[in-house]
Structure formats: C-alpha cells, structure tokens
Amino acid sequence: MIEGVTTKALKLIADERGWLMEIIRSDWDVFKKFGQAYVTVAYPNVVKAWHMHKKQTDNIACVKSMIKLVLYDGRTASKTKGEINEFIIGEKNPLLVSIPPEVWHGFKAIEDTAFIVNVPTELYNHKNPDEHRLPPDTDKIPYDWKLAPWLKHG
C-alpha cells in the first residue's frame, strides 16, 4: 500500500425501510479534519484523472455503481515512490479510501453512472485551487487506463 494511504471497510445498516452507510466519522482513525463534502459523478467508462493536492487529504467513497480508483505515488521522499494502488469500490465493495497530499489519483466508472462522495480536509479555494492535474494518458505516470477514444476523459 502507498505510504500514508488508509482504507476502511464501510458497513451497510439495512432494515425493511432501506439502508444507511456511514462514510466518515470524527471518531475514526482515518479522520483528520473536515473541509467540505461533495458528490462527483462519472459516466460509464469515463476516466477522471489525474489530479493531486499539495495540502489536502481526500476521503473517497463510491455510493452508487462501481469505480476503479487508482493511486500513484510520485513523491520523491516516499518509501513507496513509484507504487500504484488499484481499488475496486462501490455498492458491491463499500470502502473509504483516504488519499494523502501529493499522491496522484483518479477513477473510472466501470458499471453504470457512478456517484462518488469526497470529504476532503480542506475547503476548495476557487481563486487559488490546491488542484494539480495531468491528463489520463500522461507518460509521467506508468498506468494504462485503456481509454475509450470516443469518450471525453480528464
């Protein structure tokens, strides 16, 4: 596992009315602090990659459908520099993945339209975003997303 990345299996609490799933709690070890919460959506086979943050830790869970979440450690001082982690997460495998600063990451919807919840540790700064991007087919990250050429990725 990439240095600093943590995961937590999530539990569905179901009854005859439906179900509930806690995504992150302030009393869990993975919790550092709260910045904001948001939902992002990816259409089937679309890749949203690559991006990383200098300050922010992302706490990602897929709550509808399934995604392949891929992480790449490009940090020069990391013990796991160059390592890649792949996680298949979503309704059939509810998992929270906590991604530390400076770890590149992205995801691909592998079933239907996927709904991803992120609870980052920092507020998004619209004037000076802590958002660094590379295209999904960059040669700086040794990973092949097998991009569908007719779809918009990025």
Q: What is the average pLDDT value for the chain, to the nearest integer?
A: 96
Query: Model confidence at 10, in pLDDT bands (50, 70, 90)?
Result: very high
CA–CA separation, 91 and 137 (whole Å):
27
Instruction: List, in order of start, the domains of the chain with CATH numbers.
Output: 6-133 (2.60.120.10)
pLDDT digits (tens, 9 = 90+) for 116-146: 999 999 999 999 999 999 999 999 999 999 9
Distances (CA, A) of 130 to 25, 43, 88: 24, 25, 26
Q: Which residues, other chains included, contact 29 with Cβ-Cβ below 8 Å and sequence gap of 6+?
A: 6, 8
pLDDT tens digits for range 72-89: 999 999 999 999 999 999
pTM for the model: 0.95
Give percent of the chain with pLDDT exceeding 70: 100
